[in-house]
A and B are shown apart, each in its own frame.
Chain A
Amino acid sequence: MEKTKDQQKILFQELLMPELGALFRTALRMTRNREDAEDLVQETTTKAFSAIDRFEEGTNFRAWIFKILTNTFINNYYRVRERNKLPSLDEMEEESAFQPAFEGISPEQALLNTLTKEDIQKAIDVIPIDFKSVVVLNLVEGFSYKETAEILDIPIGTVMSRLHRGRKILQKLLWEYSSSKNSTEKGTKEEWTAKKQ
């Protein structure tokens, strides 16, 4: 039997509310702006409810609504000029020369100790969108490679390669943020290792 509008609203609300936090934080990482993130989530809600007849009950609502969110972002919020503002990928993927240096602990542990929430969110915010969307969906929101591929409408192989490069860019940025905070004893990883020996 077909559902009434009110029954549809109740079902939709039950499915949507547990995902609202995840939708908002993903929207925030993508738009980099709280106001736009709220607008994006509202717009996603409008589109999703308008298309609720096409959602098959019992299937993956989370992946379905994230697909609407990412499509809405790309179509309505992401501008070509933003792509042009970004540094080149080659530049972003270069191995970082700077590593935090502390006596008695490894550069890796020093990195983990010095990073703040602001550093991590800032680094994700500046990753180019194709890589950021995979990083956020997979690493933060825990979607599988297959789900991420379905949400973004790209092959699994592309998810894997973008995730690999996204991780590389993210790590480079995090090393740089951490190093800049420890400039009193800054050095390359090699210098640190040599000093330790």
Chain B
Amino acid sequence: MDCKEAVEKLYLYLDGEILTPQERKDFEEHLRICRKCCEKFDFEKNLLNLIKSNCLDTPLPATLVNKVLTVINSF
């Protein structure tokens, strides 16, 4: 796998999508030998984790649970 193909596959790999076991293996092998792609992959992975953790950290308003239960019980 060359850099162009690795960049095309990067998000698919990161998102856990559509790659065959052989494609995954080739991608991982390319990261082992290519510092530039490895750095790009690490950046994208860390950025994704940062986005995810900061968005998931949104507290549920306590009042919403009661409002939703009221909706269900109104039927």
Q: Spell out A's residues near B (CB within 8 Å).
A: 5, 9, 12-13, 16-17, 20-21, 24-25, 28-29, 34, 38, 41-42, 45-46, 49-50, 106, 108, 111-112, 115-117, 120-121, 124, 136, 138-140, 142, 144-145, 163-164, 167, 170-171, 174
In whole angstroms, how far apart are the Cα atoms of A124 and B58 in the complex?
Answer: 14
Known contacts A20-B64, A20-B65, A164 near B11 by CB under 8 Å: yes
**Contact at A121–B11, with CB atoms within 8 Å?**
no
Contacts of B48 in A (CB 8 A): 139
Task: Specify which chain A residues have a CB less than 8 angstroms from the CB of B39 in the assembled complex.
Answer: 106, 108
The CA-CA distance from A121 to B69 in the complex, in Å, is: 28
Interface residue ranges, B against A (CB under 8 Å) = 11, 15-18, 39, 43, 46-48, 50-52, 54-58, 60-61, 63-65, 67-69, 71-73, 75
- With a cutoff of 8 Å between Cβ atoms, the chain B residues found around residue A124 in the complex are 51, 55
How would you classify the secondary structure of chain B's contact residues: helix, strand, loop or mixed? helix
A42/B51 in contact, CB under 8 A: no
For the complex, give the distance between the alpha carbons of A1 and B71 in Å. Answer: 26
Across the interface, B46 reaches (CB within 8 A) one of A46, A112, A164, namely A112
Contact A145 B72, beta carbon cutoff 8 Å: no
Which residue of the partner chain, among A25, A42, A111, contacts B71 with CB atoms under 8 Å? A42
Further 13 A-B residue pairs, CB within 8 A, beyond A121-B55, A124-B55, A138-B15: A13-B72, A20-B65, A28-B58, A42-B67, A45-B72, A46-B71, A108-B43, A112-B46, A115-B50, A120-B50, A140-B51, A142-B52, A170-B51
A20 to B54, CA, bound (A): 18
Q: A21-B60, A45-B71 are in contact. Are A112 and B55 (CB under 8 A)?
A: no
Contact residues in B for A24 (Cβ distance below 8 Å): 58, 60-61, 64
